[in-house]
Amino acid sequence: MRHNKIKPIVLLAALFSFAILTLSAKSIEFNGMLRDYLAYTFANSEFAVHEQALDFTLTGWGEHTRLVVNPTVYMSDDKPLTLGIREAYMDFFLENADIRIGKQAIIWGEAEGAFITDLVSPRDMRSFILADFKEIRKGVPAIKVDYYKDAFTFEGIWIPRFVPSTLPDKESMWAKKMPGQLASATVNSPASVEARLENSEVFGKISHFGSKANWALMGGYAFTNEPYISKVTPGTPPVIDQEYGRYTMGGGSLSTTVGSSVLRLEAAGYFDKPFAAVTQGPPPSVVVENHHQVQALAGLDWSLWQAQMSAQYIFGYLFDHNAKLMEQGRPVKEYSNTFTFRVQKTFISDRLTAKLFTYIETDPLNALVRPSLSWSIEDGVVLEGGVDLFVGDEDGTFGYYKENSLAWMAVRWYF
């Protein structure tokens, strides 16, 4: 509650600071978007979401500096007003280096709609993965330094204080229920990570930008962005404690042209990543185990009949797997195979855009199918509509939300 009262004060303070700091800046830009979003779930025959979002960015420019503040406001019929600042950072542009200090969203990798090496910024999963990509990304207070040498970039990131992903509330239609004996458990909020130097996160990346290929090698020492079950206290109901744990990641990405198409590759290894091994009981119990895990992606982008197309295959493997391992309240699979497909075509001088994005998991077979249409009423004003269909086996990542299939419409005004 106290947290909610502080937020507007923090926002106002940030805006005030921004105004003061930009007084000496050469110029200020202001742009953003207002959106009204309405979603209708088929299973419940109800308007499950009606939300207005205001997302704007103030940019102040100095001679060799830039200041960016990106406040957000979310309003809906059944939730309190939510104010936030997605990003608030300063850039210092040097001859061969850039330094960014402040709350910032950092994006890595070549994957589209998947998170393989892209683990620096935590995620906002309150709407599962249906929100705009920009909204899924959370800013983290960090210091990022990029040094440029010829076609190479050396990037170092220090996140002094760990920020976790935001998960859906217990009452949310996107909340995941614990299975079996733990379904009725009381789930405590994850233990926060102490703000100590040894608990900071560090990441590094070497990348090359060139004609033949763009590639990057990266690594990091991080916390799991999502919590795992650390303790189960038997009782009626049982009580679940959660925590975040350390692991090391290393990976790489590459994009190049093959003929007239673009090939994208990305892979990462997560070393000694903590997982909860849950025994349902009775009585239920848990042991935290550390396992290595790999994820890899191959994707191809091409153009056909003036439509942009993209297909991806994502492979996952967990070493020393056992049936007790759980992640986010769901069993962890030893092997996972996911395909994505996107086709997008514009009509009438880019006024009408038809798009289809699909995730397909093969074992068990389930999918998320997202066809949509958007119509540019005039420059900067867009009317959109679409359907998000969760289909297939309910044990799958997407089939689990079968009851949440929905139709939606939105109006966006860009300024």
Partner 1 sequence: MRNKHTRRVAFSVMLTLLAITSLSAAISGEEAMQNVYNRDSGNNMSANLVMTLTNSKGSTRERSIQQFRQADATGEKKIMFFLAPADVKNTSFLSYSYADGRSDDQWIYLPALKRVKRVASDGKSDSFMGSDFTYDDMGTRHPSADTHKVLRTEMVDGRSCLVVESIPKEAKPTYAKTLSWVVDNEWIGLKKEFYLANGTIGKRLEINSYEKKDGVWVITDMKMSNLEKNSSTRIQMLDVSFNNDLKENFFTERQMQIGPRI
Q: Which is nearer to partner 1, 262 or 387 (CB)?
A: 262
Q: Which is nearer to partner 1, 40 or 61 (CB)?
A: 61
User: 345: buried, middle or exposed (CB in 10 Å: 19+, 13-18, 0-12)?
Assistant: middle
DSSP state of 114: -
Is-contact 228 288, C-beta < 8 A?
yes
Is-contact 358 372, C-beta < 8 A?
no
Q: Which is nearer to partner 1, 150 or 198 (CB)?
A: 150
Q: Which is nearer to partner 1, 26 or 177 (CB)?
A: 26
Q: Which is nearer to partner 1, 285 or 346 (CB)?
A: 346
Pairing of strands 186-187, 239-243: parallel
Residue 411 and residue 414: Cα distance in Å, rounded? 10
Residue 398 and residue 401: Cα distance in Å, rounded? 6
Q: Please state the closest distance from residue 338 (CB atom) to partner 1, in A.
A: 20
Question: Is the omega angle on the peptide bond into residue 8 within 30 degrees of 0, that is, cis?
Answer: no
Count the Cβ atoms, other than its own, within 10 Å of residue 364: 13
Q: Which is nearer to partner 1, 111 or 173 (CB)?
A: 111
Q: Phi and psi at residue 82, in whole multiples of 5°?
A: -115, 120
What DSSP string describes 336-373?
A: EEEEEEEEEEEETTTTEEEEEEEEEEETTEEEEEEEEE
Residue 307 and residue 344: Cα distance in Å, rounded? 6
Is-contact 407 39, C-beta < 8 A?
yes
Q: Please state the closest distance from residue 74 (CB atom) to partner 1, in A.
A: 17
Q: Please state the closest distance from residue 133 (CB atom) to partner 1, in A.
A: 5
Q: Which is nearer to partner 1, 17 or 303 (CB)?
A: 303
Q: Please state the closest distance from residue 125 (CB atom) to partner 1, in A.
A: 18
What DSSP string describes 195-256?
A: --GGG-EEEEEEEE--SSEEEEEEEEEEE-SS-EEEEEE-SSS-EEEEE--EEEEEEEEEEE
> Which residues contribute to the site for partner 1 (CB under 8 A)?
31, 33, 61, 63-64, 66, 91, 93, 98, 105-107, 132-134, 137, 146, 148, 151, 153, 209, 211, 214, 255-257, 259-262, 264, 301-303, 306, 308, 346, 349-351, 376, 378-380, 382, 412, 414-415
Q: Please state the closest distance from residue 7 (CB atom) to partner 1, in A.
A: 24
Q: Which is nearer to partner 1, 335 or 415 (CB)?
A: 415
Q: Please state the closest distance from residue 72 (CB atom) to partner 1, in A.
A: 13
Q: Please state the closest distance from residue 14 (CB atom) to partner 1, in A.
A: 20
Q: Please state the closest distance from residue 220 (CB atom) to partner 1, in A.
A: 18
